[in-house]
């Protein structure tokens, strides 16, 4: 929090701060939050209203439910490799760090869908150097976000001074990651795949001269990070909460194993019919949102009306997912993991829950376009893992939630013992 900044938890504020505002100037993104390497050609996250709308239109078809259903075989292909690798580890008697394996899977999937080439993390059972640099890029963003907030009030000399506090290894890894990203994007430009991927329309617009190549370059790493790291974070959180809540774990395992007689039956249409799984995922989003911090907006010069109150122009507004999701004003027993709150909505215990407060993909015209992809991956991965294995949390991961946060959680290893189901 800074001077002239307000943070809200009332779910009605989602619309007032982030929603469409017919005939009223919108609350713009706070420029101090732009830590893109190329400020002149920012990514879709930091682009102005006009450019954001253009970029979103170019991505919309690729992220539509119809297009992603066509990519289901690709997702299942990598999940099958995940299951094989986990089985190898289990049969060797090894405990498994599920954080790594979920990251391997989501990065391989997004590499295929966005760049037409996998990172081969699952194949090699290790991180690709580019993926290793992602963590540094996220950490850099956390530092840069804080520094830019000071710079916006203290001038460029303050920014230059504070930039020295970003650890050099973080800066070097980020630079390496940007270089590797450029190499991958250039290969993607030179070799169109025989299918439509997430960058197809971006590159088509580039060739037609309606989108600058640097706009594509800025969005490549954003699409990869947003389409992988946050999904892996939610999968890791869901696994931890399931294994620390045995009754919930048993109930979900029963739902999965009673729904399928073979792994081949685990399709998107079938997992979409598992209500308790969706409740578990939504409850994980509530207590462990991958993006827990606020996404600030700045009020226009004439000010804005938020929850019926006038807020002066130039003020910063935001809603922290973590604070909103865990507010006792929005949810009963907010710090407890209780998926039933999203199913037994008539239960007196949850009847007054404000479920509209849950907005893990943000709200309004700038909400996350990758929502459908995330839910597809999460449902298929969780279903396959629970169908094939019994899981046990290892003692060294009992306090797994003791984590730092930059832009997303800096996850600890999540050690689990897997027992293949006969």
Which residues are known binding-site members? Answer: 368
Sorted by sequence, the CB contacts under 8 Å of residue 73 that are 6+ apart come out as: none
Tell me if 388 sits within 8 A of 380, measured CB to CB.
Answer: no
Residue 401, SS3 per DSSP: coil
Rounded CA-CA distance 364/87 in Å is 42
Helices (H) and strands (E) in the chain, counts: 17, 11
Q: 223 vs 47, 118, 144, 273, CA distance in Å?
A: 14, 14, 19, 28
Q: 308 vs 39, 216, 296, 304, CA distance in Å?
A: 35, 40, 19, 9
Binding residues for heme: 368
The continuous run of DSSP H or E covering 409 comes out as: strand 409-410
Q: How many CB atoms lie within 10 A of CB 343?
A: 16
Rounded CA-CA distance 136/119 in Å is 17
Tell me if 91 sits within 8 A of 422, measured CB to CB.
Answer: no
Mutual angle of helices 213-226 and 129-154, in 10-degree steps:
110
Nearest to 62 by CA among 257, 200, 190, 183: 200
Residue 26, SS3 per DSSP: coil
184 forms beta bridges with none
The pair phi, psi for residue 222, each rounded to 5°, is -65, -45
280 CB-contact burial (10 Å; exposed 0-12 / middle 13-18 / buried 19+): buried
Residue 22, SS3 per DSSP: coil
Beta-sheet pairing, 404-405 with 409-410: antiparallel
Residue 285, SS3 per DSSP: helix
Q: What is the DSSP letter of 339?
A: G
Residue 319, SS3 per DSSP: strand
């Amino acid at each position: 929090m800074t001077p002239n900044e307000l943070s809200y938890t009332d779910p009605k504020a989602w619309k007032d701060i982030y929603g469409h505002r017919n005939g009223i100037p919108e609350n713009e993104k706070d420029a101090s939050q732009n830590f893109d390497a190329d400020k002149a050609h920012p990514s879709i996250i930091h682009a102005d209203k006009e450019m954001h709308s253009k970029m979103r239109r170019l991505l919309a078809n690729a992220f539509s439910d119809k297009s992603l259903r066509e990519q289901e075989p690709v997702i299942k292909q990598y999940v099958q490799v995940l299951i094989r690798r986990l089985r190898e580890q289990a049969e060797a008697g090894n405990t498994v760090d599920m954080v790594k394996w979920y990251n391997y899977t989501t990065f391989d999937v997004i590499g295929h869908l966005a760049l037409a080439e996998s990172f081969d993390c699952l194949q090699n059972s290790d991180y690709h150097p580019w993926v290793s640099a992602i963590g540094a890029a996220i950490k850099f963003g956390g530092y840069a976000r804080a520094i830019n907030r000071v710079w916006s009030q203290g001038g460029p000399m303050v920014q230059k001074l504070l930039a020295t506090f970003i650890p050099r290894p973080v800066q070097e890894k980020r630079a390496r990651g940007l270089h590797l990203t450029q190499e991958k994007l250039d290969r993607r430009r030179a070799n169109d795949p025989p299918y439509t991927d997430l960058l197809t329309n971006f590159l088509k617009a580039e060739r037609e001269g309606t989108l600058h190549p640097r706009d594509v370059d800025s969005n490549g790493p954003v699409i990869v990070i947003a389409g992988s790291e946050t999904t892996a974070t939610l999968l890791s959180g869901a696994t931890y909460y399931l294994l620390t809540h045995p009754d919930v774990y048993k109930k979900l395992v029963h739902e999965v194993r009673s729904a399928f007689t073979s792994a081949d039956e685990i399709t998107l249409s079938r997992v979409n019919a598992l209500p308790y799984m969706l409740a578990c995922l939504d409850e994980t989003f509530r207590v462990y949102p991958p993006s827990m911090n606020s996404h600030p907006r700045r009020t226009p010069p004439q000010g804005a009306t938020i929850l019926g109150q006038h807020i002066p122009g130039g003020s910063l507004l935001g809603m922290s997912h973590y604070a909103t999701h865990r507010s006792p004003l929005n949810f009963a027993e907010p710090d407890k993991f209780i998926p039933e709150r999203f199913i037994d909505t008539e239960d007196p215990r949850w009847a007054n829950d404000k479920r509209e407060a849950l907005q893990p993909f943000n709200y309004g015209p700038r909400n996350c376009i990758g929502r459908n992809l995330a839910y597809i991956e999460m449902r298929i991965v969780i279903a396959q893992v629970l169908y094939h294995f019994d899981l046990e949390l290892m003692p060294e991961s009992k306090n797994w939630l003791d984590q730092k946060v930059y832009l997303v959680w800096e996850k600890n290893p999540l050690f689990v013992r897997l027992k293949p189901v006969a």
